[in-house]
Chain A
Amino acid sequence: MNPAFSVIFLTTLIGAGQGLFLALYTGQVYALFDLLPAQDSRSFYAVGSAIALAFLAAGLVASFFHLGHPERAWRSAAMWRTSWLSREVIVLPAFMGTVFLYGAGHWLGWQSPLFSLPGGYPVDATLLLGAAGTLLCFGLFICTAMIYACLKFLREWHTPLTVINYILLGGASGFVLATAFSAAAAPAASGFFGGWAAVLTLGALTSRGASLVRNTRLKPRSTLATAIGVRHPRIVQKSQGFMGGSFNTREFFHGRSKAFLGGVKWGFLVLAFPVPLLVLAAGLAAGSPAILGGAFLVQYLGLMAERWFFFAQANHPQNLYYQAIS
């Protein structure tokens, strides 16, 4: 496939926003059970939610650049019964609304306990909103990933690993962001977020690595023999039927060399995993929000490369029909 930057920005930006929200809420739940010092609800949770919301909104804006008719985008909520894309279109704004309410609740101090858990832990409105947000957040990860994973003949994508990768990569990026943010807004908690960021980054490396290994072993199921239905091992296309390009030659071919693809692969393997881990450790040791912010940026670059590779690697069976100009 030919990677589209609108979709690369959409998936990486909302991934970071989702991960940041999960990090904030994890922090709140830990604090509820006195496992972490409680943080200021305005300067930490409300501002953190605003940052997460900004990432989600930026992703949403990027997605509009993918559409031929953005003014009709509202129509895309119609087919949620069958289409993962439609489901994403519904879940993304729902999640954004919940994150907004979660941040607003913290800002406005909706902290009077509504009821108590056994053991006397008070549950307030923000905790419930956060729980709803967490559900929607995972729902959004699943919708986004299933848009790709549900296409069975794009076999590089058609695996549960795609869903796991989206969750872990987005989570890692968001937790690194949370580490940088907490180093500035709540230094006592930055070690906690940094630890989880490292765990998620290593987890993401494992699952992304597993999908890379899986994909190198794939054998194409469609061949020219099944594409045109002639039972012969040696078939070559002599003409695709037209001399110039078409939608089919532009949308489905990345047009880069094997070496370039390999470069991007190793680029993201380095930039998204070991480098941010090292910078993260250095930033935590120095307690510097700037260095930790650098870790997020490096990893974000790596994740953009990862997403580019994710699209470029998928080999669409339609390409069998577009091999030779004449």
Chain B
Amino acid sequence: MTQLALVIDLNVCVGCHACVTSCKEWNTSGAAGYLSDDRPYDADPTGCFFNRVQTFEVGAFPDTQTVHFPKSCLHCEEPPCVPVCPTGASYKRAEDGIVLVDYDKCIGCKYCSWACPYGVRELDEHQKVMKKCTLCVDRIYDEKLPERERKPACVLACPTNARLYGDIHDPDSQVSQAIRENAGYQLMPEWGTHPANHYLPRRKTVIRIHADELQRADNPLKIDGKLPKPALKEPSLDDVTSW
């Protein structure tokens, strides 16, 4: 079974919102119709987005870290949003695990958004149907696109390569390896939703230096200065020539 997903590397994300804008651009131009965008240049702008980049501060000054945190539908493997939908408009595809909304069936009751703990479903205020990330289902299988572009728009847009895309059920995929080797984790594991999207944690690059690496092993008495120069025929202290 395939489960397509994103893996987002918080260690590399710089919070540039390129994924947000490219997502909006791609998904407002598709066959499903536009994404609402009201009063974009006025005092109270609002609109429907599939992807948001948020910013958190961890720790107290001066020991703080800024964490940029992109968030979109996690395509949960046990999606709580799907069984509650009364019309069957929300569904999870068996073939690739993408959770989708059928805009022609949705009655706009908002119940699925109540049932998603992550706040990633947004009702389109004009079309009055529930919308959310489709993992660019209208891109990734499009044979008219060159192979390397058959990826979600956000993944292609990310300038730091913080967004990886692939099948997390394939142990050899890039995403599975990234999760495995970099301690990838899921959001709010306490609700048993098993999100398919994973996040890679912030990682500090540290050099480990052991005490004996700071000392010259061949100078245990810490006597500095030039070593006595042995005569040419004598063995040297450390079995190499001293000159």
Q: Chain A residues in contact with chain B, CB under 8 A? A: 1, 66-70, 72-73, 75-79, 82-86, 89, 147, 150-154, 221-222, 224, 226-230, 232, 234-248, 251-252, 316-319, 321-322
Contact = CB atoms under 8 A, between A and B. Distances in A.
Contacts of B191: 152-153, 222, 317
Contacts of A77: 86
A67 B55 contact: no
Interface string B72-113: 000000001011111111000000000000000111111101
Contacts of A86: 86-87
Interface stretch (B44-52, B146-154, B204-212, B222-230): B44-52
B141 interface: no
A85 B190 contact: no
B122 A230 contact: no
B188 interface: yes
Nearest to A242: B52
B185 interface: yes
B202 interface: yes
B84 A85 contact: yes
Contact of B123 (A78, A226, A247, A319): A247
Contacts, number: 174
* Interface of B (DSSP majority class): loop
Contact of B185 (A150, A229, A243, A247): A229
A78 B88 contact: yes
B236 interface: no
Contacts of A252: 119
Interface stretch (B25-33, B59-67, B165-173): B59-67
8 contacts: A69-B108, A75-B87, A76-B87, A77-B86, A147-B111, A224-B56, A241-B52, A321-B118
Interface centre among B71, B114, B185 (most CB of A within 10 A): B114
Specify which of B58, B67, B121, B191 lies most central, judged by the most chain A CB atoms within 10 Å of its CB: B58
Given A238-B57, A241-B54, A82 B83 contact: yes
Contacts of B47: 246
Contacts of A246: 46-49, 122
Contact of A221 (B46, B66, B114, B190): B190
B12 interface: no
B83 A83 contact: yes
A296 B187 CA distance: 47
A83 B84 contact: yes
Interface in B144-194: 185-191
Given A1-B114, A69-B107, A248 B122 contact: yes
Contacts of B111: 83, 85, 147
A242 B118 CA distance: 17
Nearest to B70: A241
A72 B87 CA distance: 9
Given A240-B54, A241-B20, A316-B119, A69 B129 contact: yes
Contacts of B80: 151-153
Contacts of B108: 67-69
A291 to B, nearest CB: 40
Given A76-B87, A78-B88, A230-B201, A244 B44 contact: yes
A228 B69 contact: yes
Contact of A235 (B48, B56, B129, B186): B56
B88 A228 contact: no
A147 B57 CA distance: 36
Contact of A68 (B86, B129, B190): B129
B18 interface: no
A74 B189 CA distance: 35
B128 interface: yes
Contacts of A319: 119
Contacts of B48: 246-247
A324 to B, nearest CB: 9
B104 to A, nearest CB: 9
A238 B15 CA distance: 12
Nearest to A247: B122
A225 B87 CA distance: 35
B87 A151 contact: no
A317 B80 CA distance: 14
B117 interface: yes
Contacts of A230: 56, 58, 67, 201-202
A244 B49 CA distance: 12
A230 B67 CA distance: 9
B184 to A, nearest CB: 10
Given A82-B83, A252-B119, A237 B58 contact: no
B138 interface: no
A126 B129 CA distance: 43
A66 to B, nearest CB: 6
Of residues A246, A247, A248, which shows the largest number of chain B Cβ atoms within 10 Å of its Cβ?
A247
